[in-house]
């Protein structure tokens, strides 16, 4: 079940991304149909997982055929990922000690929410936080990270001026703890496993 405060968190994050995109202007090349960031797996929280499941339920009510296609892509993805999954393939929970191994795991695996025919996300409104913040400069260990397709030839200080700033005061951590308690499942997972949970 999705915690009630998730809508507020999404609103805060989306507003911060819009602000960073405005400051980035033409340097930020992210656009509908660009799917580079939709290929390869990454850890998501149980809050993200709950949001995805709620989004899939809403899609099922509005367009059962598209929802069935997302579930089928998730089933196929889990089948491909399970043999070498760095965690418990029955629950989809990643081992904390192996999350760093994801850098070399399933880099060619498309997100099951990605419609391969259109290049659009079928669960865009319910996408994980990693997807929401991808593109604009983001503070990471060792500096500021940006999408490799964007900000070419831009000076580091200009990139820093476009950095994403999210003022959520621990809201995501609090809501993630609530989602973990509600689901009875702690730890990170992957989109495909979340959609089948």
Q: pLDDT tens for residues 52-78?
A: 999 999 999 999 999 999 999 999 999
| Residue 63 falls inside a structural domain | yes
Q: Is residue 182 in some structural domain?
A: yes
The 10 Å CB-count burial string (b at 16+, else e) for 28-56 is: bebeeeebebbeebbbbbbbbbbbbbbbb
Going by pLDDT thresholds of 50, 70 and 90, the confidence category of residue 104 is confident
Judge whether 161 lies within some domain.
yes
Q: State the total domains in the chain.
A: 1
Percent of the chain at pLDDT > 70 equals 98
Over the stretch 126-155, which tens digit does the pLDDT of each residue have? 999 999 999 899 887 777 888 888 999 999
Decide if 1 is inside a domain.
no
pLDDT of 133: 92
In a domain, 13, yes or no: yes
CA dist., res. 181 & res. 177, Å (int): 6
Task: Note the pLDDT of residue 142.
Answer: 74
- Residue 132 falls within a domain, yes or no? yes
Determine the Cα–Cα distance for residues 133 and 136; give it in Å rounded to an integer.
7
Host domain of residue 188: 6-196
């Amino acid at each position: 079940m999705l915690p009630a405060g998730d809508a507020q968190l999404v609103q805060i994050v989306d507003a911060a991304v819009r602000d960073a995109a405005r400051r980035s202007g033409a340097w930020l090349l992210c656009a509908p149909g660009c799917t580079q960031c939709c290929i390869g797996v990454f850890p998501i929280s149980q809050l993200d997982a709950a949001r995805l499941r709620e989004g899939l339920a809403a899609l099922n009510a509005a367009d059962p055929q598209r929802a069935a296609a997302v579930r089928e892509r998730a089933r196929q993805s889990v089948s491909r990922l399970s043999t070498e999954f760095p965690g418990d393939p029955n629950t989809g929970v990643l081992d904390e000690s192996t999350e760093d191994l994801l850098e070399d795991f399933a880099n060619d695996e498309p997100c099951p929410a990605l419609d391969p025919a259109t290049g659009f996300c079928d669960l865009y409104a319910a996408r994980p936080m990693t997807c929401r913040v991808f593109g604009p400069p983001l503070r990471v260990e060792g500096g500021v990270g940006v999408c490799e397709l964007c900000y070419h030839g831009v000076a580091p200080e200009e990139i820093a001026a476009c950095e994403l700033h999210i003022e959520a005061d621990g809201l995501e951590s609090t809501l993630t703890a609530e989602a973990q308690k509600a689901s009875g499942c702690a730890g990170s997972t992957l989109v495909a496993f979340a959609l089948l949970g």
